């Protein structure tokens, strides 16, 4: 079904077609055959006694019921205007050159560019070919994947979702700084990749003695450090001191102070988190980001209503599929100008799904690189009109059949 | 509009004389509506003798009794009167709706029945009055007497207006209101009165005449070819009835049709009337023969 892909003209055309179709159905509706008789005395006596309507009773005529259901199903399916998509795009080119977010990530220890590709908002000249982009501020339901007007917005989504399902580690996302790209407004944001998986052991958040510090044991390697650049509170405490081997998960970018960190002890791994990051309401997007990071580890939502001093466990499900950040979180995270960038590993993915078998190449190129020739995508087949025509034909056949007195 | 030649073809008219002969072959005493005056007077059939009184017709003196008994007796004869025959012909719309395979409609059959019975009555020198009836009762045609009036009667029969609903009670009430001598009333109709059999019973209750009901039925009428979702319209009243004619509909229809016929026979028996069915699949003269076979009609 493709309700959103209709242009206004197509919608108007469809509406007009529906009106015409309904008119035809009205003309072709089953009407009783009028017969003049000498008297109604005997017909009145012979007419079957009307049976009480039983809502969940067995249909009196199965064929008539099935035929009616078929007509209804055809109309509904036709109104949905299903698409049969031919060969989709075979490549995703990610902009590796609009570097603010990527630089930040590199500085945060993600690794060299291209290892995990950031897709910030500055699409630049690459925007025409990019199908994977970031959300923008003001997009409350901002999906993560994007495309420009030259490509159907629905086309690349299945591939990225399939990649996320098949190779969960390939697609993750993180909040980045606001884009300064000039073409950002042209990007149409569509649905986000829903799944990312990080397997890890159970994580116990220990409220500890200091209410400003919560500890989690055991821990796993931090897969995704977070950089908070626009922390609202300037006088908030940070974790200090930390062991030398501590790995900072969340860093206050303005001061460089770690806010969430993990380290190993003889008793096991520990995660420390400043209490204010866990406050549910005081810092709006910050807890959401922390929760997202912890969910990557623990596989569950952090109970933001937890009472200080009461430990709570976050069961980690090895191999579980976790939502990074839900659509609601996007709204909060992007309200202050942040973006949630998608990271995707470059490589060649062979995907199988309802769309068939596709080989998708994900690569990165700087904005200054010349654009490759655009891919020529075949036009999808829309089946709505054909289904409606079939529905009208079946209804007409049924009406004709009925007029011949051979009601099924 | 049918002409006289269409309605009464030569074959039909030729069959009337044979029909009359069959009617006259009915033995005396077995007739349904023989009409004799109570008074005795000039006639042919001997009835009785009584002592002569001055003033009696001398031609009626019984000579044999005078020679044997030496007393004068006067012979008395039955004084015969003509029989008022009232023929009520249904002219409602239902009679003209469907034709049999040979094109015969109930409307035409009704006129043929009326003509045949009128012919027999006229040959008996009875006085025949024909009137058509439907929702609005038509005025009676002028009474006719004698065979010579038969051609004129045929013209008048064809010219009877038609249309409207069957109203047996109205027709009987109109006839009863006109009074007159007691005679024979013949109702020719399909008796598909929208008010049902009760209307027929009510009508018969109003009549003081001997009554014969001639019911017209069409072959296959009891089991019409009705299937599927139907919007039935009464051709007389325009009333509509939505019917889902399932496979059992025809059986129930036929059962109702037969029950109606049985009810009609019961009503006729209750009021001493004769019910005779004329099937359009059989020529009218032949179909009417059964009416005389059991002495149901004066020949």
The reply to whether A78 falls in a domain is no
All residues of chain A having their beta carbon less than 8 Å from the beta carbon of residue B191 are none
Are residue A119 and residue A147 in the same domain, yes or no? yes
Helices A8-27, A62-80: axis angle to 10 degrees equals 160
ipTM for the predicted complex comes to: 0.80
- Note whether A272 and A242 are within 8 A (CB): yes
Q: What is the pLDDT of residue B183?
A: 84
Say whether B248 and A44 touch across the interface (CB within 8 A): no
Q: How far is it, in rounded angstroms, from Cα B280 to Cα B278?
A: 6
What the block records as the tokens of B9 is 């073809």
DSSP state string for A311-326: -EEE---TT--B-SS-
Residue range B184-230, pLDDT digits in tens: 899 999 998 888 899 999 999 998 888 889 999 988 888 888 888 88
Please count the residue pairs, one from chain A and one from chain B, whose beta carbons lie less than 8 angstroms apart.
95
Are residue A133 and residue A108 in the same domain, yes or no? yes
All residues of chain A having their beta carbon less than 8 Å from the beta carbon of residue B228 are 32-33, 402-407
**From A34, A42, A48, residue closest to B231, measured CB to CB:** A34
Q: What residue spans in chain B does CATH classification 3.40.50.410 cover?
A: 4-32+82-293
Q: How many domains in chain A?
A: 2
Q: What is the pLDDT averaged over residues A190-208?
A: 33
Say whether A42 and B260 touch across the interface (CB within 8 A): yes
Say whether A406 and B228 touch across the interface (CB within 8 A): yes
Q: What is the pLDDT averaged over residues A111-118?
A: 31
Q: What is the pLDDT of residue B248?
A: 84
Name the most confidently modeled range: A301-310, A373-382, B233-242.
B233-242
The residue to which tokens 């003033």 are assigned: B55
**From B190, B224, B234, residue closest to A40, measured CB to CB:** B234
Higher-scoring residue by pLDDT: B227, A51: B227
Using the predicted structure, report yes or no on whether residue B164 has a pLDDT greater than 60. yes
Q: What is the pLDDT of residue A215?
A: 45
All residues of chain B having their beta carbon less than 8 Å from the beta carbon of residue A406 are 227-228
Using the predicted structure, report yes or no on whether residue A22 has a pLDDT greater than 60. yes
Q: What is the pLDDT of residue A357?
A: 60
Are residue A152 and residue A121 in the same domain, yes or no? yes
Q: What is the pLDDT of residue B115?
A: 92
Say whether A42 and B94 touch across the interface (CB within 8 A): no
Using the predicted structure, report yes or no on whether residue B241 has a pLDDT greater than 70. yes
Say whether A43 and B241 touch across the interface (CB within 8 A): yes
Residue A48 distance to chain B (closest CA, Å): 7
Are residue A111 and residue A207 in the same domain, yes or no? no
The reply to whether A301 falls in a domain is yes
Are residue A170 and residue A154 in the same domain, yes or no? yes
Residue A60 distance to chain B (closest CA, Å): 12
Q: What SS3 class is residue A289?
A: helix
Q: How far is it, in rounded angstroms, from Cα A182 to Cα A191?
A: 22
What the block records as the tokens of A60 is 């009196």
Residue A24 distance to chain B (closest CA, Å): 21
Residue range B76-100, pLDDT digits in tens: 877 666 778 889 999 888 888 877 7
Question: A95-109, A343-357, B50-64: lowest mean pLDDT where?
Answer: A95-109
Chain B residues within 8 angstroms (CB to CB) of chain A? 94, 97-98, 190, 192, 194, 196, 221, 224, 226-236, 239, 241-246, 248-249, 252-253, 255-257, 259-260
The domain of A356 spans 91-194+328-365
Starting at the edge strand found earlier in the chain, the sheet holding A171-176 runs A117-118, A339-344, A171-176
HSE at residue B207, side-chain half, CA atoms within 13 A, is 30
**From B226, B234, B243, residue closest to A39, measured CB to CB:** B234
Residue range B11-35, pLDDT digits in tens: 888 888 777 766 655 444 334 444 5
Chain B neighbours among A 118-147 (CB < 8 Å)? none
Are residue A255 and residue A351 in the same domain, yes or no? no
% chain A with pLDDT above 90: 0
Q: What is the pLDDT of residue B7?
A: 85
Q: What is the pLDDT of residue A184?
A: 31
Are residue A227 and residue A262 in the same domain, yes or no? yes
Q: What is the pLDDT averaged over residues B149-169?
A: 87
- Terminal-residue alpha carbon distance, chain B: 32
Looking at residue A34, what DSSP letter applies? E
Q: How far is it, in rounded angstroms, from Cα B207 to Cα B172?
A: 6
Residue A328 distance to chain B (closest CA, Å): 56
Are residue A318 and residue A209 in the same domain, yes or no? yes
The reply to whether A337 falls in a domain is yes
Search chain A and give the residue with CA nearest B224. Answer: A37
Work out the pLDDT band at A203, boundaries 50, 70, 90: very low
CA distances from A125 to A118, A365, A370 (A): 16, 11, 9
Mean pLDDT of chain A, nearest integer: 53
Topology of B4-32+82-293 in CATH? Rossmann fold (3.40.50)
Q: What is the pLDDT of residue B228?
A: 81
Residue B44 distance to chain A (closest CA, Å): 50
Work out the pLDDT band at B110, boundaries 50, 70, 90: very high
What the block records as the tokens of B280 is 């359009």
Q: What is the pLDDT of residue A399?
A: 76
**Region of residue A347 (phi > 0: left; psi between -120 and 50: alpha; otherwise: beta):** left
Name the most confidently modeled range: A94-103, A132-141, B2-11.
B2-11
Higher-scoring residue by pLDDT: A178, B21: B21
Higher-scoring residue by pLDDT: A256, B65: B65
**From A32, A41, A405, residue closest to B231, measured CB to CB:** A32
Q: What is the pLDDT of residue A344?
A: 52
Using the predicted structure, report yes or no on whether residue B4 has a pLDDT greater than 80. yes
Q: What is the pLDDT of residue A6?
A: 58
Q: What is the pLDDT of residue B127?
A: 85
Using the predicted structure, report yes or no on whether residue B67 has a pLDDT greater than 80. yes
All residues of chain B having their beta carbon less than 8 Å from the beta carbon of residue A407 are 228-229
Using the predicted structure, report yes or no on whether residue B162 has a pLDDT greater than 80. yes
Using the predicted structure, report yes or no on whether residue B10 has a pLDDT greater than 70. yes
Say whether B194 and A39 touch across the interface (CB within 8 A): yes
Residue A23 distance to chain B (closest CA, Å): 22
Are residue A241 and residue A287 in the same domain, yes or no? yes
The reply to whether A275 falls in a domain is yes
Are residue A163 and residue A97 in the same domain, yes or no? yes
- Three-class SS string for A75-115? HHHHHHCCEECCCCCCEEEEECCCCHHHHHHHHCCCCCECC
- Note whether A176 and A334 are within 8 A (CB): no
Question: A90-104, A304-318, B108-122: lowest mean pLDDT where?
Answer: A304-318
């Amino acid at each position: 079904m493709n309700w959103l892909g209709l242009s206004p003209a197509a919608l108007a055309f469809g509406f007009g077609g529906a009106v015409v179709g309904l008119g035809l159905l009205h003309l072709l509706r089953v009407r009783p055959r009028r017969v003049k008789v000498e008297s109604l005395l005997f017909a009145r006596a012979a007419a079957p006694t009307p049976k009480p309507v039983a809502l969940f009773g067995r249909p009196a005529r199965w064929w008539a019921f099935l035929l009616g259901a078929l007509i209804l199903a055809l109309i509904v399916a036709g109104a949905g205007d299903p698409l049969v998509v031919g060969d989709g795009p075979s490549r995703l080119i990610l902009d590796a050159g609009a570097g603010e977010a990527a630089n930040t990530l590199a500085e945060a220890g993600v690794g060299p560019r291209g290892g995990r590709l950031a897709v910030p908002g500055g699409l630049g000249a690459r925007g025409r070919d990019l199908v994977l982009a970031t959300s923008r501020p003001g997009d409350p339901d901002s999906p993560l994947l994007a495309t420009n007007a030259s490509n159907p917005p629905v086309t690349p989504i299945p591939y990225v979702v399939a990649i996320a399902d098949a190779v969960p580690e390939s697609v993750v996302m993180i909040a980045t700084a606001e884009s300064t790209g000039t073409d950002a407004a042209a990007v149409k944001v569509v649905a986000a990749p829903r799944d990312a998986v990080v397997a890890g052991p159970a994580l116990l958040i220990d409220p500890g003695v200091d209410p400003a510090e919560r500890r989690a044991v055991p821990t796993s390697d931090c897969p995704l450090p977070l950089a908070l650049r626009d922390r609202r509170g300037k006088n908030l405490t940070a974790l200090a001191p930390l062991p030398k081997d501590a790995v900072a998960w969340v860093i206050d970018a303005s001061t460089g102070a770690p806010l969430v960190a993990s380290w190993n002890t003889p008793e096991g791994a520990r995660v420390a988190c400043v209490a204010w990051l866990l406050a549910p309401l005081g810092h709006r997007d910050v807890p959401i980001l922390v929760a997202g990071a912890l969910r990557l580890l623990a596989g569950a939502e952090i109970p933001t209503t937890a009472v200080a001093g009461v430990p709570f466990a976050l069961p980690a499900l090895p191999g579980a599929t976790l939502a990074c950040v839900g659509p609601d979180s996007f709204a909060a995270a992007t309200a202050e100008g942040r973006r949630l960038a998608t990271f995707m590993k470059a490589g060649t993915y062979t995907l199988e799904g309802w769309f068939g078998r596709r080989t998708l190449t994900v690569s990165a190129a700087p904005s200054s690189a010349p654009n490759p020739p655009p891919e020529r995508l075949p036009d999808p087949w829309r089946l709505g009109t054909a289904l409606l025509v079939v529905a009208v034909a079946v209804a007409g056949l049924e009406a004709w059949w009925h007029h011949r007195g051979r009601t099924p | 509009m049918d002409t006289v030649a269409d309605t009464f073809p030569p074959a039909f008219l030729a069959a009337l004389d044979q029909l009359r002969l069959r009617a006259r072959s009915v033995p005396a005493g077995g007739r349904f509506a023989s009409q004799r005056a109570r008074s005795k007077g000039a006639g042919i059939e001997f009835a009785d003798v009584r002592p002569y009184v001055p003033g009696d017709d001398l031609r009626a003196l019984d000579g044999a009794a005078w020679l044997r008994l030496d007393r004068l007796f006067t012979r008395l004869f039955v004084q015969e009167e003509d029989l008022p025959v009232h023929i009520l012909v249904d002219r409602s719309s239902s009679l003209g709706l469907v034709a049999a395979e040979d094109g015969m409609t109930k409307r035409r059959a009704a006129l043929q029945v009326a003509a045949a019975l009128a012919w027999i009555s006229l040959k008996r020198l009875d006085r025949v009055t024909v009137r058509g009836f439907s929702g609005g009762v038509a005025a009676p045609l002028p009474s006719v007497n004698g065979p010579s009036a038969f051609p004129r009667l045929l013209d008048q029969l064809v010219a009877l207006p038609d249309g409207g609903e069957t109203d047996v009670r109205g027709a009987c009430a109109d006839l009863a209101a006109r009074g007159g001598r007691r005679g024979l009333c013949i109702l020719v109709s399909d008796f598909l009165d929208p008010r049902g059999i009760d209307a027929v019973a009510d009508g018969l209750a109003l009549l003081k005449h001997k009554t014969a009901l001639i019911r017209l039925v069409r072959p296959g009428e009891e089991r019409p070819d009705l299937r599927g979702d139907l919007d039935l319209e009464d051709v007389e009243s325009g009333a509509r009835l939505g019917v889902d004619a399932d496979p059992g509909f025809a059986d129930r229809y036929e059962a109702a049709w037969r029950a109606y016929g049985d009810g009609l026979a019961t009503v006729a028996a209750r009021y001493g009337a004769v019910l005779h069915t004329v099937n359009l699949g059989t020529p009218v003269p032949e179909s009417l023969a059964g009416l005389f076979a059991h002495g149901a009609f004066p020949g």
